[in-house]
Amino acid sequence: MSNTKNLNRRFFMKGASATALIGSAIGGGLAIPSAVNAKGMGYISMSMSYDLDEEFNRIGSGDYKWDSIRRNARPHDVPFPMGVADMDFRTLPHITEALMKRMGHQNWGYQGPPSYFYENIIAWNKKRYNQDIKPGSILNSHGVLDGCLSILKLHNTSGGPVLVQTPGYSGFFGTVRNAQFSSVENPLRLIDGRWEMDLDLMAKQIDKDDIKIILFCNPANPTGNCWSPTEMRAMGDLCIEKGVLVVADEIHCDFVNKGATYTPYATLGEKYAMSSYTLKSTSKSFNLAAHHVAYLFSDNMEMIDNLKKSGHQRGSLNALGMIACNAAYLHGASYMDDTQSYIDGNCHILEDFCNESMKDVKYRKHEGTYLAFLDCSSVAKKLGKPDDGARVGDMLKNFFIEKAGVNLNPGENYGLGGEGYMRMNLATTNYKLRGALDAMKMAIDAI
């Protein structure tokens, strides 16, 4: 029997036996929520090494997605929190084993990265995406946004605004503000159901505002685009011509739905690689956000050296985070493949449900990330104008919480073009997704 299957049996067991195993391994000092054996109805039959249908109870662990959202929504119950971008699945068993082994050592002196930490990062990106990362070009980062902040402070010497395509990752806006810059929104255009870049407008904005940096998301959060090489080259050529640095947030790269392809921006050619940074993390792929471990790199070693000199000197990070990241990239290929397939199935469930049963919500299967961007403008129209000049998205958020127990993120959080949309996290079980959709339909039908 393979090592993966041995770990699968040991750590993906149901109920109290799994809790007892983990508790005993670390001396009983950590409370782990028990799991309930409740199978969801999968969209398609998939042969998997990991039981992603397991109803893993996260309540009581102190996370934002379950505990904070439910606490803030009182007196309303929220059995379906689908806003915060993390996953409801148990993480890779090899990660748990590696962390338990290190915790058993019971000494926490200064510690560097695990053996072959950077080699495993390089190997993962090479094997899965044929991306060559130069040894020595990788810098640690507490998170993708931490890396973005350092890059902005180093390179935006003119103090001009930073370009962000919208609807775009909401964290970009706060990071730009923290760097004490302003942002310019470059709205994407929705054409035949797919979001596309507006490069003509981008060129005008770069000239008008003397823009020197663009924060670029690939795959795109929240629209789900896996940008094609043709699209990215057109954008990259414009940026190179006008002296704009591309900062590529590719944290969602491991989540690509069937029929789509993720192409790393830096693999387009030397000129693109030399005029850009790439930022990645295991925090999305293996649900390790609480460990605060990410990394950034560039083929341009002068930029990497200058970034270190400017103060970004994260030689080491949280020890447990680095151990978790290392185990993920060393052992996580099958887990990642299974998770991709499972979320692809959830996309089909959502698309079919909207087309057949909940036609006031528009959705077409997206390309990348585990986040769906739902057009709820028809629902908003039925609800009428928000009270007291509130945002449409806040009205929709309150409606779905109060009437359906479903938490979604307002589209306005992601900038221009987001009004009337809501972001839904599909990294949950088929069972929870179907429950949320049934509850949303009942609420909408009752308007």
Instruction: Look at residue 327 in the predicted model and tell me its pLDDT.
Output: 97
Write down the CATH number for the domain with range 38-92+334-445.
3.90.1150.10
Residues 219-241: what's their mean pLDDT?
Answer: 98
Does the pLDDT at position 40 exceed 60?
A: no
pLDDT number for residue 315: 78
**pTM (2 decimals)?**
0.89
List, for residues 425-436, the tens digit of each pLDDT value: 999 999 999 999
Q: How confident is the model at residue 37 (pLDDT cuts 50, 70, 90)?
A: very low
90-106 tens-digit pLDDT:
999 999 999 999 999 99
Q: What is the pLDDT of residue 25?
A: 39
Task: For 117-331, give the CATH class.
Answer: alpha beta
- Choose among 300, 213, 287: nearest CA to 249: 213
Question: 273: left (phi > 0), else alpha (psi -120 to 50), else beta?
Answer: alpha
**How do the domains of the chain map onto residue ranges?**
38-92+334-445, 117-331
Which pLDDT tens digit goes with each residue over 183-193?
A: 999 999 999 99
Mean pLDDT (the chain) is: 90
Nearest to 28 by CA among 108, 89, 80, 103: 103
Q: Model confidence at 48, in pLDDT bands (50, 70, 90)?
A: low
Q: Which of 5-9, 229-233, 419-423 has the lowest mean pLDDT?
A: 5-9
- How far is CA 290 from its chain centroid? 13
